[in-house]
Amino acid sequence: MQESKTLDGKVVAPNVIVSEGKTVQCWTNSMGDSVAPEPLDLKPYVGMVVEVDGYLLGDLWNANLVRVVLEDGYHEISGKVIGLNDIEGPYGRISCYKHGMLEAWYMPLHFREYMNLMITVAGDLRGGNLYRAQIMNVPDR
């Protein structure tokens, strides 16, 4: 018998999350009723990290939204530097910028000297971007 599983993942489409690097579709009915799967409505949470539970059989069946884990707003996020202004953290890839979301100038937060290291950044999270970002913690070298 399959046990219920709880997943944290970033909502990337109306009933799809990315959890641990895997794309998972979420359905409210059971796999046996898969002739007409009913999608779990995650549209209001696109770009946010949510916790869902259900039965994981490739897709997540009998899925329920448990809670929103990470909403837009100020956050400190730890992750591995994977690009000049990108980190890969527990919620997926986050691009970091020195400027605000609505400002006319574009200024990435440069991580060249921290490539492949774990760092902590903080700022205003909007979707997959961190605005007014600052480096909060870097490892000792």
- Residue 138's Cα: distance from chain center in Å? 22
Could you give the CA distance from residue 84 to residue 106 in angstroms, rounded to a whole number?
A: 14
Mean pLDDT within 88-110:
81
Residue pair 45/12 in contact by the 8 Å Cβ criterion:
no
Residue pair 82/21 in contact by the 8 Å Cβ criterion:
no
Tokens of 111: 């991580």
The whole-number pLDDT of residue 104 equals 58
- Domain extent listing, the chain: 5-70, 73-137
Query: pLDDT digits over 9-30, tens only?
Result: 888 899 999 887 789 999 999 8
Instruction: Tell me if the pTM is above 0.95.
Output: no
Mean pLDDT within 65-86:
87
Mean pLDDT within 113-117:
93
